[in-house]
Chains A and B, each alone.
Chain A
Amino acid sequence: MSVIQQLSSRPGGTATIPVLEAIHLRKEFPVGQRLLGTPRVVHAVEDTSLALYPGRATALVGESGSGKTTVARMLARLYDPTSGTINFRGSPIKLTRSSAALHNYRRHVQLIFQDPFASLNPVHSVRYHLARPLRIFGHAKNQLEETQQILALLNRVSLTPADQFIQKYPHQLSGGQRQRIAIARALAVRPDVLLADEPVSMLDVSIRLDILNLLLRLKDEEQLALLYITHDIASARYFADDTLVMYAGQMVEGGPSEEVTQAPKHPYTRLLLSAAPDPDRIKAGGGGMREIGARGEIPSLITPPTGCRFHPRCPHAMEVCRQRFPKRTDLGGGHWTHCFLYGDGDGQTINQPAATPAH
């Protein structure tokens, strides 16, 4: 089974060039413009870099307001970054809004939305939804080709018998089936990169894995580069080769999923892991909920905390954390973090945290 091979996790080092790369992306949204005074902005994403490789899934994990969806939307060219570059196949793309450039870009990069109940048009049939991208991107020249390709797409997302689904309308489909249509629609373009923004969080628990397994299979078959955005770190571990953790618009940790989830370094990653539901804890006995250390919520991003934005909640916060954001420290094996506890990009460890287990 291809998924099992995938789960046996390849090592972090990759020789291939990334198909899509974000370098130092920043995004600010203006809010409440006033006539006088400086305009206020939401600092949604700060200095984010990530790379997507063919045939690899990368998870972007964070709470709501962490900027993970904004990153996906910048990569899908729905938002223009305030600064930073997006490289496609090694060369930077022009950040213009000309429709020809966007059309050409979206031939390669497609986005799957969170809510399959909202992302399909209720007045159009499955055929219409899948025929549009085929026509727009010139993959089907005539009606016959179109029908054949639609049937093939439906088969690829395991909607069978395909000839029955082709004439259905969204209201006749369950949530899982709708999400399959949304995936088929993205595949119709024959993209290299698939950005999936919480593709399963609106679905029933029993079919979530079905959809994730489908995406994994397609990733292997088509050598897609997948970005999987989620708030559920356990599913990131299941799904993705690499996991990146975002907090309040800053990337705090990243690396191979197994490393990040089993040996988390950044205090926020540790908090996220300790807060995630984990039935294994009841084996240890005790009963009731176990207390977690840090509390509180994501700060306002209009006036974010200075330095590392996690410092007001961080049990290990130091003076330097208030002053500036730490540089990236490589921890080996592709694992990195932005935290002064592990150095400041120079490999010099200031102070190892007390051995607080992640779970």
Chain B
Amino acid sequence: MVTSTSIGTQTLLEVKNLSVDYSAANGVVHAVDKVSFTLKRGEILGLAGESGCGKSTMAYAITRLLRPPAYITGGEVLYYPPEGRQRSPVISKLTQSGNATEGMADGAIDILQLTPAQLRLFRWNELSIVFQSAMNALNPVLNIGTQIMDVLKTHRPELGPDQRQRRAIELLNLVGIASDRLKSYPHELSGGMRQRAVIAIALALNPELIVMDEPTTALDVVVQREILELISSLCKDFSMALIFITHDLSLLLELADKVAIMYAGKMVEKATSKDLYLHPRHPYSHGLLNSFPNLHGPRRRMGGIPGSPPDLRAVPPGCSFHPRCPMAFGPCQSVQPVLKPASAADIGDNAQLVACHLYDPRFASAELPTQEQFAAGYASLIEGGKAR
């Protein structure tokens, strides 16, 4: 029943035209608007953007954790089980019957179509999540060993108590916590150790994909770096894919293979972190990168991005960034840009994708705008906008 083809061996997750709305009393908030992207096996994808840009909402939609008033209004989230796993009891249960796999090639599973029972199997076995504040993600009245073993008890009922404990100790060692901490309660651990424990729980069943929502924001810089090193090495060792959400672009560029920038519910740019750092193509990405003072190089004046993100109940027509954009021109106010390669040379998996009319041959010349042009645009925008 399940045959694997080229797409199945490379792609782990394929998101197609995903849209999420929040229905509020005073209008519908389009939090995520027709976002599409693919994630390869073992790849670290960073999602960055200002607060309210829809990055967390999108991650929760992928994990099916949204609750009303949030509704997924369209799209598909296809999960391609890895070859080795396709015969695993979990996957075969998921692929047997049910509408999640109907009409799908390559044994793909549409996460959005899973029934509650299937979802229960799918979560944590294939996909786990680490939430924003590790401080609150753990139950304060249970020791961390119990909390790790809880996962195993639920998802691996065949394991005995001894095996569960052995696995729990193994997991703690994996994240760099001494095994004598198994009986420690969360309040006895430092912030960094609690975050490690939460990561250990996420790793318990060897998932293929982990979603992390700002896992290090509450931590100090040195501890944050240790956690990021741990995450980076775990992803390599287990060839685990990771979706890492943060607003700290400078941190993301170091950690992630690819970075996607979101603005007002849309993905405006997706590129390898090196490409994005060296030549951001979207004016918004450029502004975001220039919101972080640098540690080296000349000290220069920086301005951030003037203005604030739009109200998602009334997103500006055309490109939603145009009211803040230093490069906006004619079509930006009326035509919605779509995510596509920035130049003809950008092909293949690592192509730099951008949703901006500056790269559309219909509206702009084939010459790519330079970083200096962006910088000059922002500088004049800041000078002119002092009265803001």
Question: Please, which residue of chain B has its CB at the minimum distance from the CB of A258?
Answer: B299
Q: Are the C-beta atoms of A213 and B299 separated by less than 8 Å?
A: no
Task: Tell me which residues across on chain A come within 8 A of B223, comparing CB atoms.
Answer: 297
B150 touches A (CB below 8 Å): no
Q: Are the C-beta atoms of A287 and B295 separated by less than 8 Å?
A: no
Task: Tell me which residues across on chain A come within 8 A of B251, comparing CB atoms.
Answer: 277
Question: Please, which residue of chain B has its CB at the minimum distance from the CB of A4?
Answer: B301
Question: Please, which residue of chain B has its CB at the minimum distance from the CB of A280?
Answer: B296
Task: Tell me which residues across on chain A come within 8 A of B102, comparing CB atoms.
Answer: none
Q: Are the C-beta atoms of A3 and B388 separated by less than 8 Å?
A: no
B274 touches A (CB below 8 Å): yes
B369 touches A (CB below 8 Å): no
Task: Tell me which residues across on chain B come within 8 A of A210, comparing CB atoms.
Answer: 303-304, 306
A318 touches B (CB below 8 Å): no
Rounded to whole angstroms, the CA-CA distance of A239 and B300 in the bound complex is: 10
Task: Tell me which residues across on chain B come within 8 A of A31, comparing CB atoms.
Answer: none
- CB proximity to A under 8 Å, residues B258-307: 273-274, 277-278, 287-289, 291-297, 299-306
Task: Tell me which residues across on chain A come within 8 A of B291, comparing CB atoms.
Answer: 205-206, 208-209
Q: Are the C-beta atoms of A282 and B306 separated by less than 8 Å?
A: no
Q: Are the C-beta atoms of B288 and A281 separated by less than 8 Å?
A: no
Task: Tell me which residues across on chain A come within 8 A of B226, comparing CB atoms.
Answer: 292, 295
B253 touches A (CB below 8 Å): yes
Q: Are the C-beta atoms of B304 and A206 separated by less than 8 Å?
A: yes
Task: Tell me which residues across on chain B come within 8 A of A258, comparing CB atoms.
Answer: 299
Chain A residues within 8 Å of chain B by Cβ, number: 54
Q: Are the C-beta atoms of A160 and B301 separated by less than 8 Å?
A: no
Task: Tell me which residues across on chain A come within 8 A of B232, comparing CB atoms.
Answer: 288-289
Task: Tell me which residues across on chain B come within 8 A of A208, comparing CB atoms.
Answer: 291, 304
A261 touches B (CB below 8 Å): yes
Task: Tell me which residues across on chain A come within 8 A of B167, comparing CB atoms.
Answer: none
Rounded to whole angstroms, the CA-CA distance of A287 and B291 in the bound complex is: 22
Q: Are the C-beta atoms of B304 and A280 separated by less than 8 Å?
A: no
A48 touches B (CB below 8 Å): no
11 A-B residue contacts at CB 8 Å?
A206-B304, A206-B305, A208-B291, A233-B221, A234-B295, A237-B293, A275-B222, A279-B254, A279-B294, A289-B228, A359-B296
Q: Which residues of B contact A (CB under 8 A)?
A: 50-51, 190, 192, 220-226, 228-229, 232-233, 236, 247-251, 253-255, 257, 273-274, 277-278, 287-289, 291-297, 299-306, 308, 386-388
Q: Which residues of A contact B (CB under 8 A)?
A: 1, 3-4, 7, 9, 63-64, 158, 160, 174, 176, 204-210, 213, 231-235, 237-239, 258, 261-262, 271-283, 287-292, 294-295, 297-298, 359
